[in-house]
Amino acid sequence: MADLRNYEKKAEKKGFSIIAGVDEAGRGPLAGPVVSAAVILPALFPVPGINDSKKLSPKKRDYLYGKIYEHALSIGIGIVDSTEIDRINILQASLLCMSVSVDNLSPQPDYLLIDGTFRILSDIPQEPVTHGDALSVSIAAASIIAKVTRDRLMERYHQDYPQFGFARHKGYPTRAHKEAIRKFGCCPIHRCSFRGVKEYINSAVES
């Protein structure tokens, strides 16, 4: 099994000491915000089982979410809503969101490990890591925080718009979600620039 601290160790050998992993959740859904997290872990992080959030059960994610908050040196959250996603596109919204999560860290890191292939807008030295959520413990921790945070937001939105079933699918384009959009139109948290939503923007559900 790969050592999930390899990227952190390489950064430390370069002289960096405060290393943050950064990831986002929610690029693919038809509704809701994109949410990111930046996480600085201690060198001796005592919690086993950290992995890409997509590979974990909801129960395991919730457990690790609590443990990460218990032991992390700092956690920053970024949230960009559907209106901004429609304005600047989902890629730019995701990169903006990750920048915000880094800005919300205290102390500020001196090195960033970013999930994916793109750099974010930051003066902090950084390294994009393809599939980083499966290769870096810091990015994996960030993926868990971002995923759980976003899922809980979507469960809250379900209370406002129960007809769409956000608590179940979290805004992703499931068959049930697409059928609900066809039946009820779109609501204020739907991403109006996305295919599967923009065709129904004339039949909107008010908040």
Q: Kindly state whether residue 110 falls inside one of the protein's structural domains.
A: yes
Tokens for 164?
A: 């769409």
pLDDT tens profile 74-127: 999 999 999 999 999 999 999 999 999 999 999 999 999 999 999 999 999 999
Q: Kindly state whether residue 16 falls inside one of the protein's structural domains.
A: yes
Domain that holds residue 65: 6-158
**Same-domain check for residues 121 and 193:** no
**Same-domain check for residues 153 and 137:** yes
pLDDT at 203: 60
For the chain, the domain total comes to 2
Report which of 35, 44, 11 is spatially closest to residue 143, judged by C-alpha positions.
35
Q: Kindly state whether residue 41 falls inside one of the protein's structural domains.
A: yes
User: What is the rounded CA–CA span in Å between residue 120 and residue 98?
Assistant: 7
Q: Kindly state whether residue 114 falls inside one of the protein's structural domains.
A: yes
**Same-domain check for residues 66 and 12:** yes
pLDDT tens profile 134-151: 999 999 999 999 999 999
pLDDT tens profile 31-61: 999 999 999 999 888 888 888 888 899 999 9
**Same-domain check for residues 50 and 120:** yes
**Same-domain check for residues 165 and 114:** no
pLDDT at 42: 95
**Same-domain check for residues 87 and 11:** yes
Residue 79: give its domain's CATH number.
3.30.420.10
pLDDT tens profile 76-86: 999 999 999 99
Percent of the chain with pLDDT over 90: 88
Strand partners, 128: 114
**Same-domain check for residues 32 and 101:** yes
Across the range 184-207, mean pLDDT stands at 86
Mean residue pLDDT across the chain: 95
Which helix (H) or strand (E) segment holds residue 23: the answer is strand 19-25
Q: Kindly state whether residue 77 falls inside one of the protein's structural domains.
A: yes
pLDDT at 204: 58
Report which of 191, 181, 138 is spatially closest to residue 20, judged by C-alpha positions.
138
Q: Kindly state whether residue 145 falls inside one of the protein's structural domains.
A: yes
